[in-house]
Amino acid sequence: MINVRFTVFGGVSAWVDGRATEFGPTRLGALLGVLLVDAGRVVGPDELVERVLGDTPPPRARAMMQTWLTRLRQTLPGLIEREAGGYVVRVDPLEIDLHLFRHLVRTGRTAEAIALADAELLSTLDTPWARQRRRDFAAELLAAQLDHVDARLSSGEHAKLVPELQVLVAERPLDERIAAQLIEALHGSGRTADAIRHFELLKARLATELGAEPSRQLTTLHRRLQAASAPRQLPAPPKPFTGRALELAELDQAPNGVVVITGTGGVGKTSLAVHWAHRAAARFPDGQLYVNLHGFGPSGAALSPGDALLRFLSALDVPRAKVPHDLAGQAALLRDTLADKRVLMLLDNATDADQIEPLLPRTPNTHVVVTSRTALKPTHKARSLPLGLLPPDDARELLTARIGHDRAQAEPEAVDTVVRRCARLPLALALAGARAATQPEFPLAALADELADLDAFADDDDVTADLRSVFSHSCRALSPPALRLFGLLGLMPGSDISLAGAASLAGLGLPKTEALLAELARANLLDESEPGRFTCHDLLRDYAAELAHAGERDEALHRLLDHLALTGVEAGVVFTPSRHRPATPQPAPGVVVTRFGTHEDAFAWLMAEHPTLMSAMPHGTPAQTWLMGWSLADVLDRQAHYRDLLASQQLAVAALEQLDDTDGLGRTLINLGRGLARVGRLDESTAALERAFEVYEGNPAGQAGVLLNIAMLCPDDRIPEALEHTRRGLALFEECGDEYGQANALTGLAWGYGKIGGYALAVEYAERAMKMWQAMDHVIGMAETWDNLGTGYQGLGDHERAAHAFTQSSRYFRLGGDLRLEAEAHEQLGDTHLAAGDAEQARRAWQRSLDLRTGAGLPAGSVLAKLQAERQ
**Average pLDDT in the 75-93 region?**
86
Please answer whether residues 583 and 565 qualify as being in contact, where contact means their C-beta atoms are separated by less than 8 angstroms: no
Confidence of residue 864 (pLDDT cuts 50, 70, 90): confident
Please answer whether residues 580 and 644 qualify as being in contact, where contact means their C-beta atoms are separated by less than 8 angstroms: no
Q: Is the pLDDT of residue 456 over 50?
A: no
660 dihedral zone (left: phi>0; alpha: psi -120 to 50; beta): beta
Residues 130, 36: Cα–Cα separation, whole Å: 13
Percent of the chain scoring above 90 in pLDDT: 31
**Intra-chain end-to-end CA distance of the chain, in Å:** 69
> What is the per-residue pLDDT for 457?
37
**Average pLDDT in the 458-478 region?**
60
Give tens-digit pLDDT for 641-675: 788 899 999 999 999 999 989 889 999 999 999 89
Strand partners, 81: 88
Q: Is the pLDDT of residue 815 over 80?
A: no
> What is the per-residue pLDDT for 1?
41
Please answer whether residues 194 and 186 qualify as being in contact, where contact means their C-beta atoms are separated by less than 8 angstroms: yes
Cα 488–chain centre separation: 34
- Mean pLDDT over each residue of the chain, to the nearest integer: 86
> What is the per-residue pLDDT for 670?
92
Q: Is the pLDDT of residue 631 over 90?
A: yes
Please enumerate, as own/partner, the contacts of 272-276 that have beta carbons within 8 Å and a separation of 24 or more.
272/244, 272/247, 272/248, 272/387, 273/346, 273/348, 273/369, 273/371, 274/234, 274/235, 274/237, 274/238, 274/346, 275/237, 275/238, 275/241, 275/244, 275/248, 276/248, 276/251, 276/252, 276/369
Residues 796, 766: Cα–Cα separation, whole Å: 14
Confidence of residue 256 (pLDDT cuts 50, 70, 90): confident
Q: Is the pLDDT of residue 418 over 90?
A: no
Strand order in the sheet with 497-498: 497-498, 533-535, 527-530
DSSP 80: E
Q: What is the dihedral of CA 558, 564, 570, 576, to 10 degrees?
A: -140
**Average pLDDT in the 225-248 region?**
82
Residues 133, 122: Cα–Cα separation, whole Å: 9
**Average pLDDT in the 554-567 region?**
95
> What is the per-residue pLDDT for 453?
53
Residues 372, 353: Cα–Cα separation, whole Å: 10
Confidence of residue 379 (pLDDT cuts 50, 70, 90): low
3-class SS at 343? strand
| Residue closest to 53 by CA, chosen among 74, 39, 34, 70 | 34
Omega of the bond leading into 440 within 30 degrees of 0 (cis): no
Confidence of residue 454 (pLDDT cuts 50, 70, 90): very low
Model confidence, pTM: 0.62
> What is the per-residue pLDDT for 632?
94
**Average pLDDT in the 526-544 region?**
80
Please enumerate, as own/partner, the contacts of 371-375 that have beta carbons within 8 Å and a separation of 24 or more.
371/260, 371/261, 371/262, 371/269, 371/270, 371/273, 371/346, 371/347, 372/260, 372/261, 372/262, 372/269, 372/295, 373/262, 373/263, 373/264, 373/265, 373/269, 373/295, 373/296, 374/262, 375/260, 375/262
Q: Is the pLDDT of residue 230 over 90?
A: no
Q: Is the pLDDT of residue 103 over 50?
A: yes
Percent of the chain scoring above 70 in pLDDT: 94
Taking the CA of residue 294 as centre, how many other CA atoms within 13 Å lie in the half-sphere pointing to its CB? 21
3-class SS at 349? strand
Give tens-digit pLDDT for 582-600: 999 999 999 999 999 887 7
Residues 402, 124: Cα–Cα separation, whole Å: 80
Q: Is the pLDDT of residue 814 over 70?
A: yes
Confidence of residue 458 (pLDDT cuts 50, 70, 90): very low
> What is the per-residue pLDDT for 462?
46
> What is the per-residue pLDDT for 164?
84
Q: Is the pLDDT of residue 554 over 80?
A: yes
Please answer whether residues 491 and 560 qualify as being in contact, where contact means their C-beta atoms are separated by less than 8 angstroms: yes
Q: Is 572 exposed, middle or buried (0-12, 13-18, 19+ CB in 10 A)?
A: buried
Residues constituting the chain: 872
**Average pLDDT in the 532-543 region?**
80
> What is the per-residue pLDDT for 856?
63
Q: Is the pLDDT of residue 149 over 80?
A: yes
414 vs 664, higher pLDDT:
664
Please answer whether residues 40 and 65 qualify as being in contact, where contact means their C-beta atoms are separated by less than 8 angstroms: no
Please answer whether residues 779 and 577 qualify as being in contact, where contact means their C-beta atoms are separated by less than 8 angstroms: no
Please answer whether residues 490 and 456 qualify as being in contact, where contact means their C-beta atoms are separated by less than 8 angstroms: no
Confidence of residue 463 (pLDDT cuts 50, 70, 90): very low
**Average pLDDT in the 157-186 region?**
87
**Average pLDDT in the 176-195 region?**
85
Of the candidate ranges 74-83, 272-281, 379-388, the one whose mean pLDDT is the lowest:
379-388
> What is the per-residue pLDDT for 855?
66
Of the candidate ranges 256-265, 542-551, 630-639, the one whose mean pLDDT is the lowest:
542-551
φ and ψ of 590, to 5 deg: 90, -5
Confidence of residue 461 (pLDDT cuts 50, 70, 90): very low
Of the candidate ranges 201-205, 426-430, 587-591, the one whose mean pLDDT is the lowest:
426-430
DSSP 582: P
Residues 546, 542: Cα–Cα separation, whole Å: 7
Estimate the share of the chain in helix, then strand, then coil, as percent rounded to the nearest 5: 65, 5, 30
> What is the per-residue pLDDT for 459?
42
Confidence of residue 269 (pLDDT cuts 50, 70, 90): confident
Q: Is the pLDDT of residue 828 over 60?
A: yes
**Average pLDDT in the 322-343 region?**
86
**Average pLDDT in the 465-473 region?**
63
Instruction: Please report, as a single letter, which amino acid is at residue 628.
Output: M
> What is the per-residue pLDDT for 660?
87
Give tens-digit pLDDT for 60-73: 888 888 888 888 88
DSSP 9: B
**Average pLDDT in the 184-198 region?**
82
DSSP 126: -
**Average pLDDT in the 480-500 region?**
90
